[in-house]
């Protein structure tokens, strides 16, 4: 892995220098899956957080192996001041669509944090503000590739990814036959074959199956 793939605290430092006292960093996982929830991780940091080195090798969860994510999970959670993960279920995604489901999951995560909205800024990974009106009145800074470039967002991505992956392993025991423990709900060849054979489960995003794969729920 090139050193260029590791995030820095440069952007966070700029925000703190501009007067921000608390920073809520947000990233999502599971957007492109065909089964299971979408998860949104949030971390809250302050200038004091960055006085302590963040965990070694921390970067965007997509650039880490499953073992690396699991090994760093506890240390990442301890490094930030606060963190939470919110989720929206497959049924909610089918009902309201993925963008609104992401915002709902983010709201569920943010409401678990303690912060002063007037002294806080949200740092959101993405190209647009998909939070909508669910930011609790906090100003939102949107930054493409923030999960790659900003360490607070990378931390949120790891916490969200590990939390969701662990849930998918649990779902594999409750809803056997689909291999959730391996592909974590994404559209692998074995997963698609299992859906065609067994039909969709209660954990599948049936509107996605119909639209993308041509698999009807009944």
* CA 211 – CA 142 distance, rounded (Å): 30
In contact, 147 and 157? CB cutoff 8 Å: yes
Under the banding of pLDDT at 50, 70 and 90, the label for residue 212 is low
User: What domains can you pick out in the chain, each with its CATH number?
Assistant: 3-173 (3.30.420.10)
pLDDT, one tens digit per residue, over 137-167 is 999 999 999 999 999 999 999 999 999 999 9
pLDDT, one tens digit per residue, over 85-132 is 999 999 999 999 999 999 999 999 999 999 999 999 999 998 999 998
Under the banding of pLDDT at 50, 70 and 90, the label for residue 216 is low
pLDDT, one tens digit per residue, over 10-56 is 999 999 999 999 999 999 999 999 999 999 999 999 999 999 999 99
H helices, E strands: number in the chain: 9, 5
Segment 181-209 mean pLDDT: 94
In contact, 12 and 143? CB cutoff 8 Å: no
* CA 108 – CA 180 distance, rounded (Å): 24
Q: Is 88 exposed, middle or buried (0-12, 13-18, 19+ CB in 10 A)?
A: buried
- Residue 218 has a pLDDT of 56
- Whether residue 181 is predicted with pLDDT greater than 70 in this model: the reply is yes
- Whether residue 2 is predicted with pLDDT greater than 50 in this model: the reply is no
- Whether residue 4 is predicted with pLDDT greater than 60 in this model: the reply is no
SS3 (DSSP) at 52: coil
In order, the DSSP letters of 146-192 are HHHHBHHHHHHHHHHHHHHHHHHHHHHHHSTTS-HHHHTTS--HHHH
Contacts of 185 (CB under 8 A, 6+ apart): 30, 33, 34, 35, 36, 168, 191, 203
Contacts of 135 (CB under 8 A, 6+ apart): 110, 122
């Amino acid at each position: 892995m090139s050193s260029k793939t590791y995030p820095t605290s440069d952007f966070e430092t700029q925000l703190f220098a501009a007067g921000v006292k608390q920073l809520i960093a947000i990233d999502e996982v599971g957007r492109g899956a065909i089964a299971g929830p979408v998860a949104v991780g949030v971390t809250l940091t302050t200038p004091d957080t960055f006085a302590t080195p963040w965990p070694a090798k921390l970067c965007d969860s997509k650039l880490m192996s499953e073992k690396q994510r699991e090994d760093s999970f506890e240390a990442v959670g301890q490094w930030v001041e606060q963190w939470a993960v919110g989720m929206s279920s497959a049924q909610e995604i089918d009902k309201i669509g993925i963008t609104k489901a992401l915002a709902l999951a983010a709201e569920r995560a943010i409401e678990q944090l303690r912060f002063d909205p007037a002294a806080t800024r949200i740092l959101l990974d993405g190209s647009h503000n998909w939070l909508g009106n669910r930011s609790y009145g906090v100003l939102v800074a949107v930054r493409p590739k923030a999960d790659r470039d900003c360490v607070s967002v990378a931390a949120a991505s790891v916490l969200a990814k590990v939390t969701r992956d662990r849930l998918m392993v649990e779902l594999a025991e409750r809803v056997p036959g689909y291999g959730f423990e391996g592909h974590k709900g994404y559209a692998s060849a074995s997963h698609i074959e299992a859906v065609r054979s067994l039909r969709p489960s209660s954990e599948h995003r049936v509107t996605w199956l119909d639209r993308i794969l041509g698999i009807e729920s009944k």
